[in-house]
A and B are shown apart, each in its own frame.
Chain A
Amino acid sequence: MQPNTVAWTEKKGLAQMLKGGVIMDVVNVEHAKIAEDAGACAVMALERVPADIRADGGVARMSDPDMILKIMDAVSIPVMAKCRIGHFVEAQILESIGVDYIDESEVLTPADEEHHILKHNFKVPFVCGCRNIGEALRRIGEGAAMIRTKGEAGTGDVVEAVRHARTVIGAIRQLQTMGDEELMAFAKNNGAPYELVKETKELGRMPVVNFAAGGVATPADAALMMQLGVDGVFVGSGIFKSGNPAQRAQAIVKAVTHYQDASILAEVSKNLGEAMVGRNISQMPEADKIAGRGW
């Protein structure tokens, strides 16, 4: 399906170019260069990584455009930036400075508790988080050209990313066994647009690229997500909150390429130093979780 949107092939296409790659959170030019040198296929420019946003509390907003522009000048790979859920003016600002992708992200404090941005109107592509197939297809319905799991950002605990990836991929498998007459009920029960449900069944996969995000901290975590069936991986706090960022970044890049080769995974996992400390989700109060943001 070719939705009524600006530059759909190009928006969806850039995400296809990122497949099999690692997108890394960076907070300054120095981090961005380390990420590019390590083989990141893109960077996410933001003022604070999710672990720090959690620690600091308060309202988390779009980053300073000047800081994003400096990172865009410093690296040759695509640069993404985050805006708040529903904050279409932050998105307009990010588009006007020329970022390559916008993450309408639950990691920042939502600006609208009912509506997401109508993303079809933008020429810049958007990636959005999801916990299940309904949420994913609603975001694509609004014009997201790439999807990622929400996971639980800034924790270093991969369990929620696994849950969300399994939930989405499981639903796609379920769809493929359904008769066409069952699709409308599936759309209704999951709060998903019918046309996109139909397309997902026909394709046997999400109609756009689907990455893992939210809690990936080690090469093994990254390979786990790839083996579960995602197209690539975002690593947020996991790299620059660890003992040896450059080496860990390279190791995760290699792990995503060779995700099926356990002997290479063993090799790249050696002597990486300390992983980010992490926060166990099962002991986290509900109010501290951010994956529930988004509607």
Chain B
Amino acid sequence: MKIGVLALQGDFAEHVSMLKKLGVETAEVRLPEHLKSLDGLIIPGGESTTIGKLAVTYGLMEPLREFGKSRAIWGTCAGAIFLSSDIGRDQPLLGLMSIKVLRNAFGRQVDSFETDLDIEELYKATGTERPYHAVFIRAPIIESVSGSARVLSALEDGRIVAAQQGHLLATSFHPELTDDTRFHEYFISLAG
């Protein structure tokens, strides 16, 4: 099992360190040739505009779309934006997931927050029942899911914060900023 982390910009080192904790081999991806021999890919948090522009410049858009057809990809925050098909503004998107995302949906940095989520799928996959403590930083929300995409988790007011479409996963929060490895374990199970 070898999982890549897109290392154009953002908190890729935090994802690498979570994967290492779980004993998974990792690789940093900056150019198309770095995608070879990977079983899955994480697109980290960061600035989605920066990540998108660098992906276009270094010819990663098509190779990433191709990769996502058969292999697992998980986007956290900026990564979720990048995976989506519609964000209501003009910036490079992979369009791999049938989800509509709204950037900075909660406001600015002073509106960033933490909250506990109940995620049935995660409990089942990891045999646990502890709530999942999620960190939202200038976070997006998933406005709607369509096609084969489904809601994995929503806030109490119904706003969607995690979605899955087969082997593709999007979360608007940052599991890599916590000590809880369950989301990474869940993703590895999708990649394996």
A residues within 8 Å of B by Cβ?
A: 7, 9-10, 13-14, 16-21, 36-42, 72, 76-78, 95, 98-101, 123-125, 253-254, 256-258, 261
**Are B137 and A17 in contact, with the CB atoms below 8 A?**
yes
Q: Report the bound CA distance from A38 to B11 in whole Å.
A: 20
A79 (CB) vs chain B CBs: closest residue: B108
**Are A98 and B110 in contact, with the CB atoms below 8 A?**
yes
Given contact pairs A9-B135, A10-B113, enumerate 15 new A-B contacts (beta carbons under 8 Å). Answer: A10-B114, A14-B137, A14-B138, A17-B45, A19-B10, A20-B10, A21-B9, A21-B46, A39-B50, A40-B50, A41-B9, A100-B109, A101-B109, A256-B9, A257-B9
**Interface majority SS (helix, strand, loop, mixed), chain B:** loop
Q: Is B7 interfacial (CB 8 A cutoff)?
A: yes
Q: Report the bound CA distance from A257 to B9 in whole Å.
A: 7
Q: Digitize B34-48: 1 where CB-to-A-CB distance is under 8 Å, 0 elsewhere.
A: 000000000001110
**Are B46 and A13 in contact, with the CB atoms below 8 A?**
no
**Are B108 and A9 in contact, with the CB atoms below 8 A?**
no
**How near does chain B come to A112, taking the closest CB pair, in angstroms?**
24
**Are B109 and A253 in contact, with the CB atoms below 8 A?**
no
Count CB-based A-B contacts (< 8 Å): 108
B52 (CB) vs chain A CBs: closest residue: A39
- With a cutoff of 8 Å between Cβ atoms, the chain A residues found around residue B77 in the complex are 17
Given A17-B78, A39-B49, A254-B57, CB of A95 within 8 Å of CB of B9 = no
Q: Report the bound CA distance from A21 to B8 in whole Å.
A: 9
**How near does chain A come to B134, taking the closest CB pair, in angstroms?**
11
Contact of A21 among B47, B89, B103, B138 (CB under 8 A): B47
Q: Is B104 interfacial (CB 8 A cutoff)?
A: yes
Given A14-B112, A254-B54, A258-B30, CB of A76 within 8 Å of CB of B103 = yes
Q: Report the bound CA distance from A78 to B9 in whole Å.
A: 14
- With a cutoff of 8 Å between Cβ atoms, the chain B residues found around residue A76 in the complex are 49, 89, 103-104
**Are B53 and A9 in contact, with the CB atoms below 8 A?**
no
Q: Is B1 interfacial (CB 8 A cutoff)?
A: no
Q: Report the bound CA distance from A14 to B106 in whole Å.
A: 14
- With a cutoff of 8 Å between Cβ atoms, the chain B residues found around residue A16 in the complex are 11, 14, 45, 177
- With a cutoff of 8 Å between Cβ atoms, the chain A residues found around residue B30 in the complex are 257-258, 261
Query: How many residues on the B side are at the interface (Cβ–Cβ under 8 A)?
Result: 35
Q: Report the bound CA distance from A229 to B53 in whole Å.
A: 24
**Are A19 and B109 in contact, with the CB atoms below 8 A?**
no
**Are B9 and A20 in contact, with the CB atoms below 8 A?**
yes
- With a cutoff of 8 Å between Cβ atoms, the chain B residues found around residue A17 in the complex are 10-11, 45-47, 77-78, 137-138
- With a cutoff of 8 Å between Cβ atoms, the chain A residues found around residue B136 in the complex are 10
Q: Digitize B83-107: 1 where CB-to-A-CB distance is under 8 Å, 0 elsewhere.
A: 0000001000000000000011001
Of all A-B residue pairs in the complex, the 3 with the closest CB atoms, nearest first, are A100-B109, A10-B112, A41-B47
**Are B138 and A100 in contact, with the CB atoms below 8 A?**
yes
Given A100-B138, A257-B8, CB of A13 within 8 Å of CB of B50 = no
Sample of 10 A–B contacts (CB below 8 Å)? A13-B135, A13-B174, A13-B177, A21-B10, A21-B46, A36-B49, A38-B53, A39-B49, A39-B53, A257-B8
**Are B138 and A78 in contact, with the CB atoms below 8 A?**
yes
Q: Is B187 interfacial (CB 8 A cutoff)?
A: no
A124 (CB) vs chain B CBs: closest residue: B110
- With a cutoff of 8 Å between Cβ atoms, the chain B residues found around residue A41 in the complex are 9, 46-47, 50
Q: Is B12 interfacial (CB 8 A cutoff)?
A: yes
- With a cutoff of 8 Å between Cβ atoms, the chain B residues found around residue A42 in the complex are 47
